Structure 1
Amino acid sequence: MTRTPPTRVTRVRCWRWHRNPLRRHSDVVEAWIVLATWILVVLGGAFAGTAAALSVDSAFSARRAQVHAETAVLTDDAARTPPAGSGYEDGRVWATVRWTAPDGTVHNDRTKVFPGAPAGSRVTVWTNHSDRLVSAPLSTGEAALQSALTGVLAASSTGVAVWTAGWLVRTCRMRRRLSEWDEEWKRIGPEWRNFSSGGT
């Protein structure tokens, strides 16, 4: 008795893009949905990430342009120990400083300095166009890093959102296709059973 060798099943890659008797219109539509989803994930993510990074970098550049550094001096000795805080303190203490603006006017204000700094110590402070003390801007390196991280986060979020939308569309189409198959089987199922049992 001759044994029939087992049939080897070959998996065809990208079968939805090739003409074959089993390919349906829904398969072609699904293939286009998958392709469009991945294109939008890549391009949309890249565009969103780049736009976000450029926007953040522009904001940091504008912030640096609006402030400038001044050299100030302590008017009194700084406290030797920082006050007990809630955990958000940076180890520095508040002290009064005096500086001379570019127009020659003298200003006094409070800023943070290292504990124990004696009166007359020079510190760098940052002022705005109104000669008011403001927080120091991010350095160029820090701004670049923050912009890059923002861009990566925006690109990832956009990619996930687009992929989720494409997955939902594909899932809805699959459910519709299964519903159509169910309806079609209800229609031809009895005929198939009659044919299989030898009925006429």
Structure 2
Amino acid sequence: MNGGCGTRALWRWRGNPLRRTEDVLEAWVVLAVWVVVAVGGTLVGVLAGHAADESFARQRAERHAVRAVLVTGSSPIPAGDSAVDGRAAGRVRWTAPDGTAHTGTTLVDTGLKAGTRVVVWVDDRGGLTGEPPDRTAATVEAVLFGGAAALGLAGPVVGIGALLRWRLDRRRIDAWGREWDLVEPGWGHRTG
């Protein structure tokens, strides 16, 4: 069996007498788009996912749960008002890891009375912050960020490839029109 048979089958348009320069360019454009989307998309997705995962890990390391006391009661808020998932803003007092007392506003469960103990999240300086995502949520978000980054690369690359192929099609159509203008008069009008 001929060793070049596979290559000939893969590039069968290579020996075609109807092949044009635009056909070869289009083949390279399609190949380049696939390579950039497959290799570049994978690389960008992995890097973005890894960066997001590191960011979430850093948040878990820098944020700490501390006990706080609710300074004002958190009255039940009717649905649709400023409550978020059954929680409302409440004023709390807590002691930072360095021993200093702080007060601030954070989301607490609705219906709690002043003096109720609640858990709040603080950063290394003792300031209020949000709860960091747990490992499972962080992994899901990192995967979503990675996928979004890969799609963010693939979209423009596929769009540029489609634009280039459209331009090559226009060049082919224009060339066919010019060639038809040269050939058609020689055919004349033949009828039965």
* Displacement over 6 Å in runs of 4+: none
In the alignment, is residue 35 of structure 1 matched against residue 7 of structure 2? no
Whether the aligned pair in 1 keeps the contact of 2:66 and 2:120 (CA below 8 Å) is yes
The residue type equivalent to 2:184 in the other structure is G
Please list, as runs of the form range in 1=range in 2, the aligned pairs for 1:36-55 lying within 5 A after superposition: 36-55=32-51
Whether the aligned pair in 2 keeps the contact of 1:17 and 1:31 (CA below 8 Å) is no
Q: CA deviation at 1:42?
A: 1.4
Partner of 1:145: 140
**Match of residue 65, structure 1, among 56, 61, 65:** 61
Whether the aligned pair in 2 keeps the contact of 1:16 and 1:28 (CA below 8 Å) is no
The residue type equivalent to 1:142 in the other structure is A
Q: CA deviation at 1:145?
A: 0.9
Partner of 2:107: 112
> Cα 1:186–1:68, aligned 2, differ >3 Å: closer, same or farther?
same
Whether the aligned pair in 1 keeps the contact of 2:22 and 2:171 (CA below 8 Å) is no
Whether the aligned pair in 2 keeps the contact of 1:16 and 1:23 (CA below 8 Å) is no
Whether the aligned pair in 2 keeps the contact of 1:79 and 1:116 (CA below 8 Å) is yes
Whether the aligned pair in 1 keeps the contact of 2:96 and 2:125 (CA below 8 Å) is no
Please list, as runs of the form range in 1=range in 2, the aligned pairs for 1:90-169 lying within 5 A after superposition: 90-169=85-164
Instruction: Tell me the TM-score normalised to structure 2 length.
Output: 0.78
SS of the residue corresponding to residue 21 of structure 1 reads coil
Distance 1:187 1:134 in 2: 76
Q: CA deviation at 1:124?
A: 1.5
Q: CA deviation at 1:148?
A: 0.8
* Structure ID, larger Rg: 1
CA-to-partner distance for each residue in 1:80-100, whole Å, 9 max, x for gaps?
423665365322234343333
The residue type equivalent to 2:136 in the other structure is G
SS of the residue corresponding to residue 126 of structure 1 reads strand
SS of the residue corresponding to residue 15 of structure 2 reads coil
> Cα 1:75–1:175, aligned 2, differ >3 Å: closer, same or farther?
closer
SS of the residue corresponding to residue 39 of structure 1 reads helix
> Cα 1:24–1:85, aligned 2, differ >3 Å: closer, same or farther?
closer
- Report sequence identity in percent: 41
Instruction: Tell me the TM-score normalised to structure 1 length.
Output: 0.75
Q: CA deviation at 1:47?
A: 2.1
Structure 1: which 5+ residue stretches go unaligned? 1-12
Structure 2: which 5+ residue stretches go unaligned? 1-8
Distance 1:54 1:161 in 2: 23
Q: What's the Cα RMSD here?
A: 2.7
What count of residue pairs does the alignment treat as equivalent?
A: 182
Of the structure 1 ranges 110-119 and 27-36, higher mean CA displacement relative to structure 2 is found in 110-119
